Amino acid sequence: MKKEELISLIYEWQTVVLNRKGVTRETEKKILAVLGSKPIKIITGFRRSGKSFLVQQIIQKGIKNGLFEKDNFLYINFEDYRLDEYTTNKHLEKIYRVFKENICTPKGRKIIVFDEIQKIKNWDKFICTLYEKETNLELIITGSNSEMLSSELSSKLSGRFIEFSITPFSFREYLLYHSITCDNRKEYLRNKDKINKAFYDFLCFGGLPETFEINTPEAKLSYCYGIITKIILDDVVKRFKVDNVELLEKIYRYLTAESGKLISFQNICNYAIQLGHNTKLETVIKYVGYLQKAFALFEVNKFDWSQKKVFAGQKKYYSIDTGLISVFRKITENYSFRLENIVALELYRRNKNLYFGRNYQGKEIDFIVSENDQWNKFQVCAELTDQNIDRETSVFGLSDKYLSGSNYLLTLDDFKKNIPAVIHENLIEWLLGF
């Protein structure tokens, strides 16, 4: 690409960024709070979950708040096909040099945003050099694969960064996008019918923002299937040079369709062998790890005081978005597990120290979460009845004498029961923070 073409592309992206409109994401406030500090800001997460839109809003707010002049930002998205030939850190250097010499003003703080930077080989070398060399500069980068995991970043950037993880839209963000107000309990009650309908749609089709403007269920599922294909073929197969693509797809389908169920690597291996794949346990473990590194799934381990035991044995896997589950399972087939996935996602957003509980008799607590030196427990079900109330509440006794904290029972019931030592909450109200 010639210099004039690159200048034109930079101006084009500036126009796109300045004219972008949309809802404020919850992560935005956290990033704005540290804007102006030296460390590199890194935004990671699943493909199409809204990272690009988020960083564009950050730029807008930075300009509005007087942190940067309008000409002093560089935004480049490396998914732009015109940049396909730009693959090395030398190309990053060229982009920055063209911006500095031809577009930005000499004075004032600059903000540089490289979106989906994992497409560039050895990107970290240029970023570290820029970080050390330039003093009045804000650096933000985003990525969607394993290179952008904390462990990889620590070795590449040597602690020079602050990481922000973004997921598909939360239910509160979903309502905000659809202009359904619920800022307080009065608004929630006034709009309750709309909110309940929106929740069912959210449960079925998830929080990937590009699905929100798709009108038919069939088209939404087609879009979600396309995202899955993109994850497997681009973010996993190419990155890790996977030999058995069919096996990888089957493992992803199994873990997503069985989201929230107790699974061991041996279970997955046996499933693959039943389907005719001659595979080994080591391969299964490796492929599951790849899917996690693409942010497609997240793992919940069994709680144990011994950290060695925490990472051994059976686990639960949850999909990063419930719409992806619908590609493989109808909502009527796994409704309760779908609710559990919604809660798992919300707890994942709020707190990464997430476990499940299980005793030797097989009784389970859906989630155990460490919060402020307390161990809060969560049980999830669609509704509380005379037939299931003992089953859903007695499990808290498994941990009460070992773990101090609150016991939460989340259901879709409108009326909350008074249960000793248990906080019964409506699941939707809990998601909205009421």
The pLDDT of residue 308 is 47
Please give the Cα distance from 432 to 434 (Å, whole number).
6
225 in the same domain as 119: no
Q: Is residue 177 part of a domain?
A: no
Domain that holds residue 31: 3-166
Tokens 């595979």 label which residue?
279
Q: Is residue 182 part of a domain?
A: no
Smallest CA-to-CA distance from 404 within 369, 360, 353 is with: 369
Q: Is residue 176 part of a domain?
A: no
221 in the same domain as 162: no
Whichever domain contains 45, its CATH number is: 3.40.50.300
Contact status, residue 11 vs residue 98, Cβ threshold 8 Å: no
10 in the same domain as 89: yes
Please give the Cα distance from 30 to 57 (Å, whole number).
13
Please give the Cα distance from 191 to 426 (Å, whole number).
15
Contact status, residue 341 vs residue 259, Cβ threshold 8 Å: yes
302-336 pLDDT tens trace: 987 654 454 456 899 999 999 999 999 988 887 88
Computed on alpha carbons and rounded to an integer, the radius of gyration of the chain in Å comes to 23
76-116 pLDDT tens trace: 999 999 999 999 999 999 999 999 999 999 889 999 999 99
Please give the Cα distance from 121 to 92 (Å, whole number).
10
Q: Is residue 104 part of a domain?
A: yes
Q: Is residue 132 part of a domain?
A: yes
Question: Residues near 417 by Cβ (< 8 Å), separated by ≥ 6?
Answer: 384, 389, 424
Q: Residue 75 pLDDT > 80, yes or no?
A: yes
Contact status, residue 69 vs residue 103, Cβ threshold 8 Å: no
Q: Is residue 178 part of a domain?
A: no
The pLDDT of residue 310 is 46
Number of folded domains that form the chain: 2
65 in the same domain as 153: yes
When mean pLDDT is compared across 185-189, 357-361, 393-397, 427-431, the lowest value belongs to 357-361
The pLDDT of residue 311 is 47
